[in-house]
Structure formats: C-alpha cells, structure tokens
Chains A and B, each alone.
Chain A
Amino acid sequence: MGRQVFLGKGVYPIRYRRGPKERYNSGPEQVPYPHEFLEISPDLAENEKFLRQEFEKTTDIVFREFYMGEIRCLAVWVDGLINNRVSHDLFRALMLDVEPDRFKKVPAAERLDWINKHHLPFYATLRVIDMIEMRRWIVMHKLVLLMDGSTSGLVLDAEATPMRGISEPTLESVVSGPRDAFVESLRLNTALIRARLGDVKLKSENFILGRRSNTLVTVMYVEDLARPEVVEEVRSRIGRIDTDAVWDVYQIKEFVHDRQLTFFPLMKETERPDKVAADLLEGRFAIIVDGSPQVLTAPSVMVEFFQSAEDYYLNPILSTGLRILRYLGLFIACTGLGLYVAVTTFHQEMIPIPLIFSVAGTRETVPFPAVIEALFMLVIFELLVEAGIRLPRVVGGAVNIVGALIIGQASVQAGIVSPILVILIAATAIANFAVSSNYLFASVLRFIRLLFLIAGASLGLYGMSLVLLCLLIHMTSLKSFGVPYLTPLAPRLPVAMTDVLYRAPKWQMSSRPNYITGNDLTRDNSQPPGDTPESETSPDAVKNEGDLADG
C-alpha cells in the first residue's frame, strides 16, 4: 500500500497517493488510483473470478475470452461504450495477426509488453497492475485486457460513448462568426477548443469527480496568461469536491465558485468554443465536464455578460451601437415596470402633461392599483416563459396564441389591465432576453425586475434608488476568483474600458485585461492600419496580419 509503482518504459508511471484530498491524481496523463490495492494475479482464472464477482448481475458488461496461441486472454468492457470497429481491429490483431511461434518464445512476464509494443494498433494504452483500478477503468468506458501468466493488465482507449454530432449553438446563436457548439463529449469539446487555440502553452489537467459517476473533468488554461494562484486555487477547489455524481458544469459551479450567497453568476457558462478560446486568451481558465454541452469559464466580471461573441465579428462602430442598445435594454428590463408603478403611484407630477392624460385615460377603467396590475401581468408573463420551456413542442403554438391574444388583448378589452402596462411588459420581456446571451444572467434580470417593482410600489423612486444602491453594494462586494465583480467600472481601470461601454477597434484593444491576465499583457502588436509607412502601399496586408496575430 502506498508504494510507488513504476512500470517501465513506454508506460505511464502511476504514483499512488494517500489521504482523502489526494485520492485522485491530476494532470494530463495521471489516472485515479483507488484506496484498496489488489495485485493482478498471474492466474487469469483468479482475476476473472474477481471481476465476475464484482460485476455480478451486471448484464451490460462483456467478458470476451480468447486465445493467443495457447495463452488464454480476457477482454472486458461495457457494452455499447466501446467502438465496435476498434474492438474488431483489436481481436483481429491479437487473434489472427500474432504468430503463435514467435509469441511462445517471449518469456511469460514480458508477453503483455510485447503485445503492447507490436500488436495493439491503439493510440492510447495503459499498463495497470492493480485489479481494483482495472475494475474502475472498465466502468470508465475503457477496454481492459488480461492475460494468463501476466501480473499486469492493459487498458485500451477504444471509447465510443454515444453522442450527438456537433450542431449550431441553441442558446447563443449569432449572425456572423463560427457556428459550432459544444456537445456532451469532453474529448470533442477539448478538441474544439484546441482546434481554435494551437498554443503550446494551452494546458489541460484532468480530474475524476464523483464517487459514483467517475466523471472526467478537464481544466484548461493558457499557462503564461492565467494567474498561477488562480489556477492553483481551482485545482484545490476541484480537488476538494467529494460528491456523488457530476454530469453538468453547473453541478461543479456551485462547488467551485467563491463562497458567496448571490444570484449573480460568478462563472460564465457558454456553448461556444470561440468564446472559450477568447476567454482563455484573456487569462481565464475553462472547466469542461464530460457529458455537459457547456463549458465554464472564470474569473468572470459582470460586463462580460453583456458582451456577445458577435461583437468581435462586426464592425466596431456597429457593435458599439449594439452594446449601447443592450445597456439601454438592461435599464428597461430592470426598471421599466418599477418606474411605471412608482411614477403612477407616487410621482404623477413627473409625467409630462400630454402623457399624463393618456396614462390616466387608459387607467380609468382599471380596478386595481398599478402595482397589482403590474404584478398580475408579470406573473402571467413569467408563467408563459416557463411554459414555453416545458411544453411539448407540439402544443407550443397554442401557448403562443393564448399568451398573445387572450392574455394580452382580452385583458385590456376587459379593462383589467391598462394597454400601457401590456406594452411595458412586452418591452421589458424583449429587453430582458436581448441584454445577455447568458440565460442565467437573463434570469437574474427577471428577479431584479421584481425587486424594483416592489420597491417602486412601496417607496417610489426613492425605494428604487435604495434597491439600486443595495444591488450595487452587493455587486461591488462580490469577487470571482479574486477579481472584483464590477471591474473595470468599479474599481475603475481606464485601460480596460475599451471593451465595456463601447467596443474599440481590435488594434486599440492591444492589451489583455490586466485584472484577469497574469502576465504578457500584449495581445496585439500590429500597427494600427494607416500608421506605418508600409501600410500606405498595402494596407490590407497589415490589417490581415493583425487579425492573424489575434487568433
């Protein structure tokens, strides 16, 4: 127990650590190592007996016995998780291609090694001497190979987890820019990121999480951009997770992010590989969980949630305009209803004279105070949103009709709700989902809207400003992995403002955000177009060079 195991050339060394925190090794090729240790016996029957006992009443485990020459071998895997073609290749290679005469000459102890070197056309194999670990690999979608007379076994990566193909992003769709989205396979997701970021410094570390799910979790970061202390913190936070099962990033998120009670998202999940690549380049890290079509990135600041991936694929002036539109939407989504209620209840004198007539005219027949009216409509609308998510797609159209016609039009005609309020509800709803491509953040806005509504109804504009103050206090006290949540607005960092209220041209955003990136702040070294004498001759060449440098 607890000894160091060295397995010779060409095989990954496995270090056995003890203690609950270090139960799982981490790192690119390290593997989890269980508590108990049971050496693989040279007698295959004994090993088989152990495995058969362990996987008793387990119908989806395949035990395939075969002979190489006269030597008995056993392959074990979970049915359906192994690539059929690959396993076919395997048995073909072992059973047909191995010459029995040559094989016989190899000493018994070296036979497995010999096969591994000469006859296994697999790109990743691992030699294991522990039966407990062997058992674990089987349920972790690997094919396991045991041989009579050998005190070790081979783990072969022939994984073919059932998964869907890469499709377009459903939550964060854009008009221009890449259109691939993450899927439920970790390996495919890391590949999508790596395909975007061919950087030697892009590191990925593996963790196995979940006592019962044994899920692979990868942390990716660019070594010389991410802050080492942040990466170390993530490692230790993930290492501390001791939970039953994990299959979505959100299940990890609550364990990993800073321990603060808040409804603001302190880590950002995205389904776009290009967003993750851009985040990694700003010194963030990414957490990828096997089985989750979303990837977490952090540290996050609030302004990120207003940045769409598309902002960077459009003309800076246009995207600045869109961004201002989004901030305007934020204002409407959060305060629109509250303002209506506050002004009609407390501050009628603030409405311009012509407008007050039309407002008063429409409210004349309404039997309730403005706040009841607003709450009623808000609840109905939120229910519609929820129903839109849950309802079977077939009846979705019916809900739309009910929502639009019956709730909207009929309630106004019946005189329960004023038409201005219906307009406001619609406007806030549209604004709400236009503001942020992050669904969680949009949900936060729905909650904030309710807060403002209640405050506006009870204390008018003054109450709303108190709520605003409370929210600001709350947000300024939040930190995501040591980065204050409202950076670069408060604390103010003028250099980083190029990407907040407006989107500066690429050649102006020449430095990475210094509040996240550790070192190497230079993002862009290219000269602004038109500045260099060369650019007069070929401005396009310089421009393209700049684009390339940005990756």
Chain B
Amino acid sequence: MDNGKISQRQLAYLFFTVLVATVVFYNPQIAVGTVGRDAWITAMLGSIWGLLVVVVIVALGRRFPDKTLTGYIPQIIGKPLGLVLSLLYTVWFLFIGAGITAQFALFINTTIMPDTPSLALIITFMAVAFYAVSHGLEVFARINELFVWVIVIAILIVVTLPYELIDLRRLLPVGQTSIGNLVATSLIAGSWRGEVFLAGMFLPALITMKNTTRNLTITVFLIGFVLMAVEVSTIAVFGSHIVGDIELPAFSLARMISTARVLDRLEALVVAVWVSATFIKVCAFLYCANRAATDIMGFQEHRLLLAPITLMFTATAHNQTINPSQLVDFLTITWPGYGLLSFQLVIPLILLIIASLRGKGEGKA
C-alpha cells in the first residue's frame, strides 16, 4: 500500500463516494427536521464550507507535498504537541469510521436483515474492508471507479422515478427560515462535506498535485447538487412535515417507486448504493486511521499496523451500535462541533496559519 499511486480522476471519484455515502441518507431527515422545507438551501450552503476545507487542506498539502496530514502536524507545531494532535486525528478517523460502520450495520438491520446480529454484519464488513485496504490505496480507488457510476445512476433513478408522486408545490413558500438558522443547519451538511479534509491523507499518494483544488471543489459542489436533489425529491413526495420524522427518507423514497408494474420495490437499489458507497468510505477511513497511526509510530511498512487498527475499528464500531434516534441526536448536536468546527476546518486552518507564520513547508500555499 505504500507505493500505491492514484490519479486526479481517482481522487475526485473517491471523494465523491466518500462524501455522498452517508449524507444522502441521514442529512435529509435532520435538515428537514430543523429548517423544514428550506432544507435544500442548506445542502447548497454546505458546499461553501466544503470549499473552505478544500482550500485549506490543499494549501497545507502543497506546503508538504510528500507528507500526510498527520505526518506534517508535528513539523508545524513541534513534536510533543504535534504527536498529541496527530493521535487525536487518528482517534477521529477511528471513531467516525467506526461510527459509519455501526450506522451501516444499523441500516442493514432496519432494512433488509432484521434478524442478523449487528456484530456479524460489522465483522464481515470489516473483514472485507481489511482485505481491500491491505491491497493498498490503488485497489479500492480503482473499485470505486466502477462504483461511482452505479451510485450516480441509482441516485438518479431513486430521485426521478417517483415522478407520479412529486408535487413541487410542497417546496413553497421558500425562505421562511432565518439566515442564521439556515447557516447553523448548513453546518451539519457541511460537516459531511468537510470530510473532504481526508484528502490531506491522500495527497502524497497523488501522481500529480495539479488541479487538485479544482477537482475537489467540483466534487464538493456536485455532492451539494446530489443532496439537494434528494432533499427536493423527498420533500416534494412526502411533504416537509413527514420527512423530518421518517427514518431514512431516501429509502422510503425508493419504496414509493412503482413504475410500469415492473420497476417495483427498488429499495434493493438503495441497499446496493449503501453497501458499495459505505464500503469505500469505510475503506478510506480505515486507510486514514492506519496511515495516521503509522505516521505517529514512524513506521515505514504500512501493513504492519493494519490488523490491530482493523480490530480496534471493529470493536469501536460494535461499541457504537446505537438506535436510530440516538444517531440522529448525535448527528444534529455533536457532529458539526466534532467535525467542521474542530477537526475538519478550524484546526487545519490554525495549522495553515501557524505554518505560514513559521515559514514551515517547502512550497508556497
């Protein structure tokens, strides 16, 4: 995995999947629950947060072209403090990644396999993720190139096929929420978009850094559109009062599809998207956690720590198995503070400022 090199296209595709994976399933419910029918505006506002993260993380990456995020933190703020911060980042990757795995198990439990114990789901899932990551970044980046199209097409189908039920008037009136409320809610969507800061761990694996900012920005805004489309479609089908209360509105949307008596019950499609996208996302987090741990320990061989990290990942995921309302609670209250407002945007921004003040790093930001 050390020598795996990925192209710009693979990076952009990878982040498309990483960013789209869970946001389209959980964000609609939370956003609609908070700001009602104006939720789709927050989806677009979230892109701006994502853009800020991209700018900061790529600027840092250009300063330290051959180092990962956790690799250059000690260089910027000194070894003792830097190692602590790097460790915190490792824990972040582990914690959030495990949370995604737990959400995945929860999703499979609530949708298609109610009787299977979630531990079985988590273990099998992590075993495959381990298999993928042990083959290196290149491998799951390539698989993702296949998945991106499946995901895009499936989302398009789910969003457009309930056309008989779509009533766009349900989106009116627009803009009844205060700006402050919209911005505050956009922090939630933005925290998902802020996961683009994982790019800090992938930049050294790029063949060339050219156009990275542009490509990641396009990806972030595309996610904004996808999320907006899902939210518009769910609101237009169910109405904003219902969407705020149902679990997984996108899944319910797929259940509504009944076209031409053949395309019936397309929730399998949603499950397919969910499995493939979450898989890539978990792989990315596992890769990051492993890479960060390797950086902290100063190892050269990246495969060495993968098994223990995967084990910790699995255990944390099992520990985090919670019920859906707890999850929504976490995502509404904790997530923006733990994500965008600290690890994703604020800390990298402070790092960038310190780095430029102390003149660390080779390249110009």
- Give A contacts to B, CB under 8 Å: 346-347, 349-350, 352, 459-463, 465-466, 469-470, 472-473, 476-477, 484, 486, 489-492
Interchain pairs with CB closer than 8 A, number: 76
B135 near A350: Cβ-Cβ < 8 Å: no
Are B128's CB and A346's CB within 8 A? no
Give the docked Cα–Cα distance between A460 and B9 (Å): 34
Alpha-carbon separation in the docked complex, A399 to B116 (Å): 43
Known A462-B112, A466-B124, A466-B125; contact A489-B139, beta-carbon cutoff 8 A: no
Bound CA span A469–B276, Å: 8
Contacts of A462 in B (CB 8 A): 108, 112-113, 116, 121, 271, 275
Could you tell me the distance between the alpha carbons of A490 and B140 in the complex, rounded to whole angstroms? 10
Evaluate contact between A477 and B135: CB separation under 8 angstroms. Answer: yes
C-alpha gap A306/B261 in the complex (Å):
33
Contact, CB under 8 Å: A461 / B268: yes
Nearest first, the 7 closest Cβ-Cβ pairs linking A and B are A490-B142, A490-B145, A477-B135, A476-B142, A465-B275, A473-B132, A476-B139
A490–B9 Cα distance when bound, in Å, is 11
Contact, CB under 8 Å: B139 / A492: no
Q: Which B83-137 residues have a C-beta within 8 angstroms of A?
A: 108, 112-113, 116, 120-121, 124-125, 128, 131-132, 135-136
Question: Which chain B residues lie closer than 8 Å to A349 at the CB level?
Answer: 265
| Chain A residue, CB-CB nearest to B135 | A477
Of the A-B pairs whose beta carbons lie under 8 Å apart in the complex, a sample of 28, sorted by A's number, is A349-B265, A350-B265, A350-B268, A459-B120, A459-B124, A461-B268, A462-B116, A462-B275, A463-B124, A465-B276, A466-B124, A466-B125, A466-B128, A469-B128, A470-B131, A472-B143, A473-B128, A473-B135, A476-B135, A476-B139, A476-B140, A476-B143, A484-B142, A490-B142, A490-B144, A491-B10, A491-B145, A492-B145
B245 interface contact, C-beta 8 A: no
Complex CA gap A466/B135 in Å reads 16
Min CB–CB distance A536 → chain B (angstroms): 40
B7 CB–A CB distance under 8 Å: yes
Residue of A nearest to B280 (CB): A469
| Chain B residues within an 8 Å CB radius of A484 | 142
Interface presence of B279 (CB below 8 A): yes
- State the CA gap A463–B113 with chains docked (Å): 11
Residues of B within 8 A of A352 (CB): 264-265
Q: Are A470 and B268 touching (Cβ within 8 A)?
A: no
Q: Given A460, A461, A465, A473, which contacts B131 in the complex, CB threshold below 8 Å?
A: A473
Question: Does B315 have its Cβ within 8 Å of any Cβ on chain A?
Answer: no
Would you call B143 and A473 a contact (CB within 8 A)? Answer: yes
- Is B146 part of the contact surface with A, judged by Cβ < 8 Å? yes
Which chain A residues lie closer than 8 Å to B271 at the CB level? 461-462
Contacts A462-B121, A490-B143, A491-B145 supplied; 14 other A-B pairs, CB < 8 Å: A459-B120, A459-B124, A461-B112, A461-B268, A462-B275, A463-B124, A465-B275, A466-B128, A469-B143, A473-B139, A476-B142, A477-B139, A490-B145, A490-B146
| Distance of A346 Cα from B264 Cα, bound (Å) | 18
**Across-interface contacts of B9 in A (CB, < 8 A):** 492
Q: Is the CB of A460 within 8 A of B113?
A: yes
Minimum CB–CB distance from A452 to chain B (whole Å) comes to 15
**In this complex, which of A352, A469, A489 has the most chain B Cβ atoms within 10 angstroms of its Cβ?**
A469
Q: In whole angstroms, how far apart are the Cα atoms of A65 and B140 in the complex?
A: 71
Q: Compute how far the CA of A349 lies from the CA of B265 in the bound complex, rounded to whole angstroms.
A: 9
Q: How far is the CA of A349 from the CA of B267 in the complex (A)?
A: 11
Q: Is B183 an interface residue (CB 8 A)?
A: no
**Chain B min CB distance to A440 (Å):** 23
Residues of B in contact (CB 8 Å), total 33
Taking the nearest CB of chain A, how far is it from the CB of B3, in angstroms?
13
Q: List, in ascending order, chain A residues with CB within 8 A of B128's CB.
A: 466, 469-470, 473
Do B279 and A491 touch across chains, with their CB atoms under 8 A apart? no
Establish whether residues A459 and B131, one from each chain, have CB atoms under 8 Å apart when the complex forms.
no
Chain A residues with Cβ below 8 Å from B112 are 346-347, 460-462
CB-defined contacts of A461 to chain B, threshold 8 Å: 112, 268, 271
| Alpha-carbon separation in the docked complex, A477 to B1 (Å) | 11
A473 to B143, CA, bound (A): 7
**In chain B between 220 and 273, which residues have their CB closer than 8 angstroms to a CB of chain A?**
264-265, 267-268, 271-272
CA distance A460 to B111 in the complex (A): 12
Q: In the assembly, what is the distance between CA of A477 and CA of B137, in Å?
A: 10
Chain B, residues 142-162, CB within 8 Å of chain A (1/0): the string is 111110000000000000000
Interface residues of B in 2-46 (CB under 8 A from A): 7, 9-10
Shortest Cβ distance from residue A500 to the other chain B in the assembled complex, whole angstroms: 12
A398, chain B: closest CB distance, angstroms: 42
CA distance A472 to B279 in the complex (A): 12
Contact A469 B132 (CB under 8 A): yes
B140–A473 touching, CB < 8 Å: yes
Closest CB of chain A to B116's CB: distance in Å? Answer: 7
Chain B: CB-nearest residue to A354: B261
Task: Please give me the residue from chain B that is nearest to A472 by CB atom.
Answer: B143
Q: How far is the CB of A508 from chain B (nearest CB, A)?
A: 21
- Interchain CA distance A477-B267 in the complex, whole Å: 31
Given contacts A346-B112, A473-B132, contact A491 B265 (CB under 8 A): no
Q: Which residue of A lies closest to B133 (CB)?
A: A473
CB distance from A174 to the nearest CB of B (A): 30
Residues on B with C-beta less than 8 A from A346 are 112-113
A472 B146 Cβ-Cβ under 8 A = yes
Chain A residue contacts of B116, Cβ below 8 A: 459-460, 462
**Which residue of chain A is the closest to B10 with respect to CB atoms?**
A491
Which of B108, B142, B267, B276 is A491 in contact with, Cβ under 8 Å? B142
User: Cβ of B138: which chain A residues have Cβ within 8 Å of it?
Assistant: 476
Report the Cα distance A465→B108, complex, angstroms. Answer: 12
Binary A-proximity of B272-284 (CB < 8 A = 1, otherwise 0): 1001100100000
CB distance from B234 to the nearest CB of A (A): 22
Whole-angstrom distance from the CB of A462 to the nearest CB of chain B? 6
Most chain B beta carbons < 10 A, residue from A466, A470, A472, A491:
A472
Q: Known: A346-B113, A462-B121. Is A489-B276 also a contact (CB below 8 A)?
A: no
Contacts of A476 in B (CB 8 A): 135, 138-140, 142-143
Question: Which of chain A's residues has its CB closest to B258's CB?
Answer: A352
Interface residues of B in 156-203 (CB under 8 A from A): none
Q: With the chains together, A352 CA to B268 CA distance in Å?
A: 13
Please give, as numbers and ranges, the residues of chain A lying within 8 Å of B113 by CB-CB distance.
Answer: 346, 459-460, 462
**A489-B145 in contact given A460-B112, A469-B132, A470-B131 (Cβ < 8 Å):** yes
What residues on B are CB-neighbors of A463 within 8 Å? Answer: 124
Closest chain B residue to A485 by CB distance? B142
**Which single residue of chain B is at the shortest CB-CB distance from A346?**
B113
Minimum distance in angstroms from B14 CB to a CB of chain A: 12
Q: Which residues of A contact B136 (CB under 8 A)?
A: 477
With both chains docked as a complex, state the minimum distance between the C-beta of B254 and any C-beta of chain A, in angstroms: 12
Distance in Å: Cβ of A454 to nearest Cβ of chain B:
13
Distance of A465 Cα from B272 Cα, bound (Å): 8
Min CB gap A481→B, angstroms: 17
Distance of A459 Cα from B140 Cα, bound (Å): 23
Using CB atoms, name the residue of chain A closest to B268: A350
Which residues does chain B contribute within 8 Å of A472, judged by CB atoms?
Answer: 143, 146
List the B side residues contacting A466 at CB < 8 Å: 124-125, 128
**Would you give the shortest CB distance from B6 to chain A, in whole angstroms?**
9
Q: Contacts of A473 on B, CB cut-off 8 Å?
A: 128, 131-132, 135, 139-140, 143
Tell me the complex Cα distance, A349–B143, Å.
Answer: 30
Which residues of chain A are near B121, meaning CB under 8 Å? 462
Q: In the assembled complex, which residues on chain B have CB atoms less than 8 Å from the CB atom of A350?
A: 265, 267-268
Q: How far is the CA of A166 from the CA of B267 in the complex (A)?
A: 55
Residues of A near B131 (CB, < 8 A) are 470, 473
Using a CB-CB cutoff of 8 Å, which residues 301-350 of chain B contact chain A? none
Chain B residues in 8 Å Cβ range of A469: 128, 132, 143, 275-276, 279
**Among A346, A352, A462, A477, which residue has the most Cβ atoms of chain B within 10 A?**
A462
Distance (Å) between the CB of A475 and the closest chain B CB? 9
Separation of A469 and B138 alpha carbons in the complex (Å): 15
How far, in whole Å, are A489 and B144 apart by their CA atoms in the complex? 10
The interface residues of chain A lying within 8 Å CB-to-CB of B120 are 459
Residue of A nearest to B274 (CB): A465
| Chain B min CB distance to A306 (Å) | 15
